[in-house]
Each structure stands twice: as structure tokens, then as C-alpha cells.
Structure 1
Amino acid sequence: MYGWIWRHLPGPLAAKLVISIVLVVGIVALLFFVIFPWVDPLLPFNQVSVPN
């Protein structure tokens, strides 16, 4: 999978490195600002007390 992505990135090695870093940062930002806040209410980890 990663090899396929690397082969399809345009440009020489330096350009591929920059593009891949930008892609990773973009994916992490998407996860932190969109996906994780959307999933947070659906997770059962909000109940921090133990029932009696």
C-alpha cells in the first residue's frame, strides 16, 4: 500500500518527501479535528464513575 502511494507521487525524492509529509499532517489533522470529535459522543468512555 505505501509503496503504491510512493510510486504514484510526482517528482523527485525531495518532492515526494515533502508531499508525503504534507499528506500525513493532513490526515492527522483530519482525524483530530473532524473524526475524533464526531466519534467521541459515541464511545462509552465518558462514564468515569463506577456504579454501586
Structure 2
Amino acid sequence: MYRLLWRRLPGGTPLRLTITVLLTGAVVAALWYVVFPWLAPRLPMG
């Protein structure tokens, strides 16, 4: 799966690595600032 995604990205290795880091950061930020705050009140924790 990751190999398929890597082959679909444009450019050479440095550009692909940059795009991968930026996309990973965007996913982490979306989880941290949108999904987790929405989910926190719904979890049965103290």
C-alpha cells in the first residue's frame, strides 16, 4: 500500500519525502485539533 502511494507522488525522492512529511503533519494536526476534541466528551473516562 505504501509503495503504491509512494509511486503516485510526483517528483524525485526529496520532493516525495517533503510531500509525505507535510501530508502526515496535516493528518496529525486534523486528528489533534478536530477529531480528538470532538471525541473526548464521548469517551467513558473519568
TM-score under structure 1 length normalisation: 0.83
How many equivalent pairs are there? Answer: 46
Q: What stretches of structure 2 of length at least 5 have no aligned partner? A: none
Q: Percent identity?
A: 43
**Alignment root-mean-square deviation, CA:** 0.7
With a CA cutoff of 8 Å and minimum separation of 6, indicate the structure with the bigger relative contact order.
Answer: 2
Deviation at 1:20, TM superposition (A): 0.2
Structure 1's consecutive aligned runs of 4 or more residues displaced over 2 angstroms after TM superposition are none
